[in-house]
A and B are shown apart, each in its own frame.
Chain A
């Protein structure tokens, strides 16, 4: 078997709390492991079509992402093969996933594109916290998510070597100005920075417009006259 070209992408928006899971996971993988040259790690962020050429050039694609599976918050679920794009298209929690499904379809239309897909998704605990970081349940899933990715890569003959010591956190694959510790410690206080979002689209409870509650409430409709 020829050496497959493997792309490991973390996608999501760092600014939206658990939405940043994918990027944080690929960042952690990079710091902890040394990988052979045929494996490329990338912080895909919320980029759409700009990722097409990278996706097209890969035989194997592994995606880390926060996915709304309808499971208990913090649950991890793996999806493989043809199910991946379909899954991303079935129910979306954010804009970039519309974009990513299209990235896969476009790669196919252009010819080429990965033959093997793995989506390592974790059900987010909290998204409605602009400027916030990962919740503890999500952070706890980073190491297991990496283990799944490495297990999958082993099927393609990839051996990952644990680094003697992880790279320093400013050796990040993502953005030096947004490494997790800096991102978390530099955050303005709740009094300074309003932390609630759009009632209409976030399906939050109406009292959030005046309060600071965080957990996702069941959808409540405030009937108008």
Chain B
């Protein structure tokens, strides 16, 4: 029986059901169920966050100045972005203005995290959905060297001997039987389309990226003082600036600034000579595989980020674009107000939480996080071992946030669609460049590959903005301003009795905001709406499906028992379930168990 969703999808559950649990190579735990018809087309998709989220409740009653540290420990990936969002929320509530240097440093750190996260995501969590490391063993190193030179003439590592060495190392690794990061693949699935040489080139870059990524981290270590968990501070940044200082512990001197500057140059080089060319090279073999767009061409949302000047979070001051596009109308970008109780609301009729009235959504300032684990009547299995989800009932630990009632996609592609629709010059140029290189129309953007390409373009954009803020920081210091923190309202006795605030960022995975209420100097309510809450949301009161579910619809799978296409599309969102839901996992199975019924 087919159901029509208000956001334009036809769900048909009559075909066989495929269950993938857990989805591998993501942060956190997620389950996915789809129905496929006789032609192996996906006709219904159900995504379930299988862990419970509870950060809100453990922050209640705590010191608001500590909240960043807790949010930073939710998971191991976008630590800094939660911390930044949290300090912004507290500063908004307490009306604390930060110094210009703190704004530049925070931007450099946030951009560094974006670059780092995008690079690690592509090579280590996503590339293996397109690249087949086992087939790389069949490549001719000489032909690979020629391919490398044609793909990216400026990348120095391109000799046949270099590729032969990598191939031998890979061979030894595979033959030792321990495949390591390459285990659990579906390496003989026909969904892999690259020739052996492109596979070897990409696997080689996988290793280069692994090696390089630790460099990027160092920027955050220098400004944040601690590795691998940088420090943050309500009111600014915790590092002092002392340009004439030599080796002073912790203080930022010229030597350290020059070091950061050199990391920015190296990052730009790597992104432009390796990451972007790889995306174009891999994309050229997959450009007819245009599945996975979901709602990206219809409804996308960005809060914006990277304030040019300190303390102004209005759209014109944000270098990363903000706004909402709805109903596929790219001619209009709607302003987004995180304070307006009618704009962002979270719904729970299909989530394992309870509200007094579940037909209504709640704005995060009035949000309630009260778990209610009940299963729909058609669930197969037991409460502790579900065989098949009943999506007509509650079926996920993720809430369903909506913007003016619309299910929205967030993330690099959403930001790039908003940027493109609002005529953002740099973004439009980048998009046109890659469309031309691949010789595809703009509609190709609304796909799994479009999401993957947008992430790479954004990494490049972030490199250039890092340079901009680095120059700005140095100029400001040279002009005599070395202030990095405003501690006027550090002491709780200076705070009003009852205040609320909101902080937002564009996390690598998409729009992120924390809403806080502070009462008698303690946290009274804290709600996070994280990117994967938007993308991974279950259905809402009206039956709209979320971005993950929509992206799987009408995709053809080569083999129902091997979820290559499902993984490829879900991974393109870079899902992070650790903060959208809760942190415990079961027995650590890595190979996705796939059940076909």
What separation, in Å, do the CA atoms of A200 and B389 have in the docked complex? 13
Measured in the bound complex, the distance between the Cα atoms of B588 and A196 in whole Å is: 20
* Chain A residue with Cβ nearest B27: A95
| A159 proximity list for chain B (CB < 8 A) | none
In angstroms, Cα B98 to Cα A82, docked, is: 50
- The reply to whether the CB of A2 lies closer than 8 angstroms to some CB of chain B is no
Contact B180 A202 (CB under 8 A): no
Which of A71-79, A139-147, A172-180 is near enough to bind chain B?
A: A172-180
Interface of B is mostly: loop
| Chain B residues with CB below 8 A from A110, complex form | 207, 210-211
A50 contacts which of B58, B74, B76, B587 (Cβ < 8 Å)? B76
Residue of B nearest to A173 (CB): B226
A187 to B61, CA, bound (A): 7
Alpha-carbon distance between A188 and B28 when the two chains are bound, in angstroms: 25
Residue among A49, A174, A202 with max Cβ neighbours from chain B (10 Å): A49
Asked if A14 and B582 make an inter-chain contact with CB atoms under 8 angstroms apart, the answer reads no
Among A24-32, A99-107, A162-170, the stretch in contact with B: A99-107
**Given A98-B588, A175-B69, A192-B61, residue A130 in contact with residue B54 (CB < 8 A):** yes
Q: How far is the CB of B366 from chain A (nearest CB, A)?
A: 17
A 190-225 binary contact with B (CB < 8 Å = 1; else 0): 001110111111110010010000000001111110
Q: Give the residues in chain B near A15, CB-CB below 8 Å.
A: 58, 70, 73-74, 583
Contact B214 A52 (CB under 8 A): yes
Q: Which residues of B contact A187 (CB under 8 A)?
A: 58, 61-62
- Chain A residues within 8 Å of chain B by Cβ, number: 66
Interface string of B63-93 (1 = CB under 8 A from A): 1011011101111110100000000000000
Q: In the complex, identify which listed stretch (B35-43, B334-342, B375-383, B542-550) lies at the interface while the others stay far away.
A: B375-383
**Across the interface, do B371 and A209 meet the contact criterion of CB distance under 8 Å?**
yes
Stretch at the interface among B227-235, B251-259, B489-497: B227-235
Interface of chain B residues 3 through 32 with chain A (CB within 8 A) = 27-29
Decide yes or no whether B169 CB sits under 8 A from chain A: yes
Q: How large is the interface on B (under 10, 10 to 19, 20 to 34, 35 or more residues)?
A: 35 or more
Q: In the assembled complex, which residues on chain A have CB atoms less than 8 Å from the CB atom of B120?
A: 49
Q: A102 near B180 (CB under 8 angstroms)? A: yes
- The segment from A40-48, A58-66, A114-122, A150-158 found at the interface with B is A40-48
Q: Quick check: is B134 within 8 A (CB to CB) of the other chain? A: no
Return B267 CB to nearest CB of chain A, in Å.
15
Chain B residue contacts of A94, Cβ below 8 A: 583-585, 588
- Report if B57 contacts A (CB, 8 A): yes
Taking the complex as formed, is B397 at the interface, i.e. its CB lies under 8 A from any CB of chain A? yes
Flag if B370 contacts A222 (CB, 8 Å). Answer: no
Does the CB pair A16–B584 fall under 8 Å?
yes
**Complex contact A198–B52 (CB within 8 A):** yes
Q: Given A13-B583, A130-B57, A194-B371, 20 other A-B contacts at CB below 8 A? A: A15-B74, A44-B228, A46-B73, A47-B229, A52-B210, A53-B214, A94-B588, A95-B76, A108-B173, A177-B66, A186-B61, A186-B62, A188-B62, A194-B54, A198-B50, A199-B383, A199-B384, A201-B586, A202-B584, A209-B372
The 8 closest A-B pairs by CB, nearest first: A92-B588, A131-B58, A105-B180, A53-B214, A188-B61, A177-B69, A46-B76, A193-B57
14 example contacts (A-B, Cβ-Cβ < 8 A) are as follows A15-B73, A43-B228, A45-B228, A54-B227, A91-B587, A91-B588, A98-B585, A105-B180, A194-B57, A198-B397, A198-B584, A200-B383, A201-B585, A221-B383
